Amino acid sequence: MRKIDIFDTTLRDGEQSAGINLNTAEKIEIARQLEKFGAAVIEAGFPASSPGDFEAVQRIANLVKNSTVTGLSRAMKSDIDAAWEALRGAEQPHIHVFLATSPIHMEYKLMKTPDQVVDIAVEAVKYAKKFFPLVQWSAEDAFRSDREFLVRIINQVIAAGATTINIPDTVGYATPAEYGALFKFLKENVTGIEKVKLSAHCHDDLGMAVANSIAAIENGADQVEGTINGIGERAGNAALEEIAVALHIRKDFYGLETGINLKEIKRTSQLVSQLTGVVIQPNKAVVGKNAFAHESGIHQDGMLKNPETYEIITPELIGDKAAPLALGKHSGRHAFRDRAITMGFDLEDEKLNKAFSEFKKLADRKKEITEEDLFVLFTDQQIKYKETPVYELTNVQVQYGTANIPTATVTAVLPNGETTSVASTGAGSVEAIFNTLEQLVQGKVHILDYRVTSIGKGRDALGEAVVNLSIDGEVSIGRDVAQDVLEASAKAYLNAINRHLMKIAIKEKRTVS
C-alpha cells in the first residue's frame, strides 16, 4: 500500500500564528509528542530567525530519533550555516530551503528577475547539499507561479541535489481541482521528478486546505505538510489529524497509509491547544468537543440502536477513551503514578512528587479531580523550566465592591530573591491586579489580549488564563491555571514576563558564546 509521509510544521508555521509564543521547554514537549504521533518529519523551527529558535531546533534534533527533524532556511548561506549548526546532531540531518517563485513575489518582495531567482535557488541547494543528505526545496507561492517557470526551476534544483520538492499554496488560493492538476502537470513535465519526494503545503484561507492536500495526494504527492489542529498564519494550515483520519476511514477509496498512530491524536491535539493557548473550536472535525456529541432526538435514537447510524469515527480511534474514575483526596501516590503513565506522561520522581503535592492541594478544594485537571498538572511539571522563575507569585488579594474602587495587593519574590508587596487600583479586579504587577516589573507593559477559560466542567473547574502583552515593545505570552481565575490571571501575567526575561537571557548567552 502506498505510503504518504506526514510533515508536521506545528513548531514552525504553526508558531507563526498571531498570539502564539512557545518557549524551548514547550517546543521540546510538543516535539516528543509529535514523535509518538508518528510524524515522518518534524519542522522544529527557523534556526536563523532567533537564538531561541536555534536552541529549540538544536535540542529537538538531538532528542528526537524516530522522526526526521528539519529546520527552515532562506536561500542564503548564513541561514544554511545556522541550520547546519542546529541540525548537525540529528539522526538524519534535513534542511528546508525556500524561495518565492510567483511573479508578484519575485517583483515586489525579492525584486529579482526570474533568471536571478533560478540562480539563487540552484546555488542555495548546492551549498546545502554540502552538509545535508536531505534537502527540501520549496517554491514559495508556487500555486500562483507560472507553470513553465516552475518546471524550469524545479528541473534545476533537482539537478543541484534537492531530495524533496514542496509546492505550497502559500496564500490558500487554490481549489482542489486546480491544485491536483498542478501536481499532475509537474509529475508529467519535470525531469527527474520520479527521483524526489513531491510535497504539498496548503493554507486554509478559503477553507480548502485539507481538501487541497488530499487532491495533491491523488495526483502524485508523496508528502503532505500541515499542523496539529490546523493552527498557522492567518486562517491556518491543513489540519494533519483530519488528513490522517480521512485517509484511514476512507482507506477503501484512497488505499493509502500514513504511519500515524491514530490513538495519539487526542493527546497531541490537547497538548498543542494547551501550550499554544489556542482553543479548539467545538465543531472542529475529529478533535472538537462536539465531534462525537449527538443532541438531535433522531440521532440519539439511532446511536442507541447502532452507533454506526451516525458515527463514522469512534472516540477510541483517536485515543479519546471513556474517562476513567476520577481521583480524589483519598487517592494514593501509586494510583496517581499509574494514571500519569496511562495518560502517556513520563515524569521523573522529583517532578512526579511535585505534581502529587499540587494534586493533593487541589483535591482539598475540589471534590473530584478530572482527566482534564490531571493533564494540566502533569503537563505543567513536564515542561517546568530548569531555571528558577525570575518572578514568583506568593499571594494575591483583591478587594472589590460594586460601589468601591477595586484594589489589588500582590506579594511576590523578585529576581534578587527579595519578597515584596505592592498595591494598586483599577477599573476592575483584573485591571487592578495587572496595574499592581506592572509596578513589580521593570519596563512599560501593555496588555494586548487576555482570555480566561474553564478546564473541565462544574462550578469548581480550574480556570486557565492566557495573557498576551508587550514589554518594552517585545511581545510575550503567558499562561497559567488556578482554581481562582484572578490568581490564574496574575500567574499568567508573570509567566509572560518571565518568558520575556528568559528570551533575553538566551539571546545574551548566544551573543557571548
Q: Residue ranges per domain, the chain?
A: 2-240, 333-382, 392-512
Out of 3.40.190.10, 3.90.1010.10, 3.90.280.10, 3.20.20.70, the CATH code matching 2-240 is: 3.20.20.70
Phi, then psi, of 165 in degrees rounded to 5: -115, 120
DSSP string, 391-452: SEEEEEEEE--TTS--EEEEEEE-TTS-EEEEEEE-SSHHHHHHHHHHHHSSS-EEEEEEEE
By C-alpha distance, which of 413, 487, 506, 462 is closest to 25?
Answer: 506
Kindly report, residue by residue over 124-181, the tens digit of the pLDDT: 999 999 999 999 999 999 999 999 999 999 999 999 999 999 999 999 999 999 999 9
Q: Is the dihedral of CA 393, 395, 400, 404 positive or negative?
A: negative
In the numeric block, the cell 487554490 is attached to 174
pLDDT cut 90: percent of the chain above it: 65
The residue-averaged pLDDT of 439-452 equals: 90
**CA pair distance 390, 94, nearest whole angstrom:** 36
pLDDT tens for 314-328 read 889 999 876 565 677
* Among 14-23, 103-112, 145-154, 220-229, the least confident range: 14-23
Q: In this structure, how many other beta carbons lie within 10 angstroms of the beta carbon of residue 171?
A: 18
Q: What is the pLDDT of residue 306?
A: 64
pLDDT value, residue 160: 98
Q: Taking the CA atoms of the chain, what radius of gyration do you get in angstroms?
A: 25
Q: Where residue 296 falls among pLDDT bands split at 50, 70, 90?
A: very low
Give the residue-averaged pLDDT of 95-107. 98
More confident residue, 340 or 236: 236
pLDDT at residue 386 is higher than 50: no
Q: Say yes or no: domain 392-512 is CATH 3.40.50.1360.
A: no
Per the document, the length of the chain is 513
Quote the pLDDT of residue 312.
Answer: 86
For the record, the C-alpha cell of 65 comes out as: 530519533
In degrees to the nearest 10, what's the CA dihedral of 212, 215, 221, 226? Answer: 30
Percent of the chain with pLDDT over 70: 91
Calculate helix-pair angle for 240-249, 209-218, nearest 10 degrees.
Answer: 50
Question: Considering the chain, what is the average pLDDT of its residues?
Answer: 89
Average pLDDT over residues 95-106: 98
Q: In angstroms, how far is CA 417 from the centroid of its own chain?
A: 34
Q: Give the separation between CA 431 and CA 426, rounded to whole angstroms.
A: 5
pLDDT at 310: 63
Burial class (CB in 10 A: 0-12, 13-18, 19+), 334: exposed
Using alpha carbons, select from 365, 490, 492, 513 the residue that is nearest to residue 437.
Answer: 490
Q: What angle do the packed helices 485-512 and 51-63 form, to 10 degrees?
A: 90
Nearest 5°: phi and psi at 9? -120, 30
Beta strand 392-399 pairing with 407-413: antiparallel
pTM confidence score: 0.84
Q: Is 111 exposed, middle or buried, given 0-12, 13-18 or 19+ CB atoms closer than 10 A?
A: exposed
Query: What was the pLDDT predicted at 303?
Result: 47
pLDDT at 381 (0 to 100): 63
Tracing cell 432526538 back to the chain, one arrives at 297
Instruction: Decide: helix, strand or coil at residue 464.
Output: strand
pLDDT exceeds cutoff 60 at 385: no
Cα–Cα distance, 478 to 467 (Å, whole number): 5
pLDDT digits (tens, 9 = 90+) for 463-490: 889 999 999 888 888 888 888 999 999 9
